[in-house]
Amino acid sequence: LPGDIDYSGTSFDSIANGWAAISGPNAVPQAGLIQIFLFVGFLELAVMKDVTGESEFPGDFRNGALDFGWDTFDEETKL
């Protein structure tokens, strides 16, 4: 990707792949890893909840807001 990942000028191309992106000489900056961790934690604790108790299957976080027609599918298609 073109562009920089931080204000100090580290480019996206200079970040390693896989585990080396977490620890190593070409890793994502520590502040970036902390941001990712905190953002995922926020999503898990505050956003990704079954607030209304209307979930039809595990991972159903629509909370009654959207209906994509899951109830019209048979059980095998839902899997």
Dump pLDDT digits (tens) for 7-54.
Answer: 888 888 888 889 998 888 888 888 889 999 999 999 888 888 777 777
CA dist 26 and 40 (Å) reads 23
- What is the structure's pLDDT at 29? 85
- What is the structure's pLDDT at 70? 67
Q: How far is CA 2 from CA 10, 12, 33, 38, 74, in A?
A: 11, 7, 20, 26, 45
Of residues 41 and 62, more confidently modeled: 41
- What is the structure's pLDDT at 7? 86
CA dist 44 and 60 (Å) reads 14
- What is the structure's pLDDT at 62? 74
